[in-house]
Amino acid sequence: MSKMKEGLGFLLRGMAMGAADVVPGVSGGTIAFITGIYDRLLNALKSINPALLMRLKSEGVAACWKHIDGTFLVLLFGGILLSILSFAHLITFLLDNYPELIWSFFFGLILISGVHMLKQIKHWSVTSVILLVLGCGFSYFIGTLTPTALTPSYLMLFFAGCIAISAMILPGISGSFILLLMGLYPAVLAAVKGLDVLVLSVFGSGCIVGLLTFSHVLSWLLKHHRDLALSLLTGLMLGALSKVWPWKETLETRINSSGQEVPFLERNISPWAYESLSGQSAYLLPSIALMLSAIVLVVLLEKFGSRLTEN
C-alpha cells in the first residue's frame, strides 16, 4: 500500500509539473523543488549516460532500471505528459478569456515559490546576494524582450526542445516562456492540441537531448555550490514576476497563425489604470483571492512533499 501511495504521489507531482510547464512564465522545475523531488529528479536523469550500456551488459536490465530510478521517472514523466495533453486546451481557453484571473494565480504561485526557495539557502554571503540580484535582473531583462518569429522548421523545433527543456527543469525559468520569446510557442501548443506526431517527435527528441545534457551541469552545481546556485535560481524566479503581472497595456499587436490579432508588446500597469484604459473590469478582488489561493496551494504542496519524503 505504501508503494502505491508513493507512486500516486509521484504521478500527481508530475501532473502539477506538466500543468505548470504549459504556461509561459511558470516552471515545472519550481513544482519539483517545492514538492521535494528536485534532487532525486536530477540524480535520476544524470544516471542516464553512456556508462549505462556497460552496466546493462554486466548487470542486466533490473540493475539498470534501479540505477536510473526508472519507476520514479516513468511515473513522473507520465504525469507530466498526461497533464500537458489534458491542460493544453484548458490553459489556452483560460488565457484567452480570463487572462487577469489566471495570471493572478500564477503570480501568487511564483511569489510564494520564491519565498520557499529563499528558505532553502543555508548560508548567506555577499556572493549569494549578488547572484540573487543578478538573477532577478537577468530574468526581468528576458521578460522585456520582444518575441521573435522563427520559422518552425524541424531543425529549429529540435533545438527549441533542447533549450526549452533545460529551462523547464530550472526553478524560475519557464520553458514555455523561452518558446514564446522564440515565437515557437503557438506552433508547439498547436501540435500538442492537434496531436501532431511528427512535430511532437522532433520537439521531444530535442527535449530528451537537452534534458540528459543539462541535468549533469545543474546537478554538479547543486552538489558543489548549492547555496550559490539556489541564490541565482531564486533570483531568476523572482525576476519573472514582472512577466506574469496580471494587468498590462498592449502597445503593439500581431496576427497569429490563426489569423487573430493578439498582443505582441505590453507593459505593466496598475489595476485601476487597466480599468481606465481598457474599459473592462480588472477583477481585483477575485484576482487577489486567486493569488492567495496559489500561496495556500504551494504551502500544501510543500507539506505534502515533505511528508512523502519523510515516509
The full set of domain ranges for the chain reads: 2-310
- At 212, is the secondary structure helix, strand, or coil? helix
243 neighbors 25 (Cβ within 8 angstroms): yes
pLDDT score at 48: 80
Query: Which pLDDT score, from 0 to 100, does residue 93 have?
Result: 79
Question: What DSSP assignment string belongs to 10-43?
Answer: HHHHHHHHHHHHHSTT--HHHHHHHTT-HHHHHH
What pLDDT score was predicted for residue 292?
92
Q: Is 15 exposed, middle or buried (0-12, 13-18, 19+ CB in 10 A)?
A: buried
Residue-level pLDDT at 248: 86
pTM of the model: 0.71
Local mean pLDDT, 10-residue blocks, the chain (311 residues): 75 83 70 79 82 80 85 89 79 79 84 82 91 88 65 81 79 70 75 82 88 81 86 83 83 63 75 85 88 84 63 56
At 264 the pLDDT is 65
What is the model's pLDDT at position 208?
85
So what's the pLDDT on residue 126?
93
